[in-house]
Amino acid sequence: MRQGYDYISEIKRMRSEKNAVILAHYYQTGDIQDLADFVGDSLALSQKAASTDADIILFAGVRFMAETAKILAPDKKVLLPDMNAGCSLADSCKAKDFKKFIKENPGRTVVTYVNTTAEIKALSDIICTSSNAVDIVNSLPKDEKIIFAPDRNLGNYVLNKTGRDIKIWNGTCHVHEEFSLEAILKLKDEFPDAKIIVHPECELPVRMVADFIGSTAALLKYTGNDNGKCYIVATEPGIIYQMKKNNPDKTYLPAPPRDSTCGCSECSFMKLITVQKIYYCLKNEKPEIKIRKDILDTARKPIDRMLEISGKFGPQK
175 near ligand SF4 (CB under 6 A): yes
- The correct pick among 115, 139, 153, 265 for binding ligand SF4 (CB under 6 A) is 115
Question: Segment contacting ligand SF4 (CB under 6 A): 94-102, 262-270, 273-281, 298-306?
Answer: 262-270
CA distance linking residue 206 with residue 182, whole number of Å: 9
Give kind and range of the element (H or E) at residue 206.
helix 204-208
CA distance linking residue 271 with residue 14, whole number of Å: 23
Nearer to ligand SF4, 88 or 138 (CB): 88
Question: C-alpha angle 44/134/85, rounded to 5°?
Answer: 45
- Measured from the Cβ of residue 169, the count of other Cβ atoms closer than 10 Å reads 23
Smallest separation (angstroms) from ligand SF4 to the CB of 75: 26
269 near ligand SF4 (CB under 6 A): yes
CA distance linking residue 146 with residue 269, whole number of Å: 30
Smallest separation (angstroms) from ligand SF4 to the CB of 190: 26
CA distance linking residue 231 with residue 249, whole number of Å: 12
Contacts of 217 (CB under 8 A, 6+ apart): 26, 40, 41, 43, 44, 131, 316
- The correct pick among 21, 114, 134, 173 for binding ligand SF4 (CB under 6 A) is 173
Q: What are phi and psi of 257, to 5 degrees?
A: -80, 170
Bridge partners for 17 per DSSP: none
Smallest separation (angstroms) from ligand SF4 to the CB of 218: 15
236 near ligand SF4 (CB under 6 A): yes
Nearer to ligand SF4, 69 or 173 (CB): 173
82 near ligand SF4 (CB under 6 A): no
Is residue 137 within 8 A of residue 146, CB to CB? The reply is yes
62 near ligand SF4 (CB under 6 A): yes
Smallest separation (angstroms) from ligand SF4 to the CB of 92: 9
- Measured from the Cβ of residue 182, the count of other Cβ atoms closer than 10 Å reads 10
Smallest separation (angstroms) from ligand SF4 to the CB of 62: 5
Question: Segment contacting ligand SF4 (CB under 6 A): 87-95, 122-130, 282-290, 297-305?
Answer: 87-95
Nearer to ligand SF4, 7 or 59 (CB): 59
Is residue 25 within 8 A of residue 294, CB to CB? The reply is no
270 near ligand SF4 (CB under 6 A): yes
Question: Segment contacting ligand SF4 (CB under 6 A): 50-58, 181-189, 203-211, 263-271?
Answer: 263-271
CA distance linking residue 95 with residue 119, whole number of Å: 6
- The correct pick among 147, 198, 234, 267 for binding ligand SF4 (CB under 6 A) is 267
Nearer to ligand SF4, 63 or 76 (CB): 63
Nearer to ligand SF4, 66 or 270 (CB): 270
Is residue 137 within 8 A of residue 164, CB to CB? The reply is yes
CA distance linking residue 272 with residue 139, whole number of Å: 37
Smallest separation (angstroms) from ligand SF4 to the CB of 173: 3
Task: List interacting residues with ligand SF4 (CB under 6 A).
Answer: 62, 87-89, 115, 173-175, 236, 267, 269-270
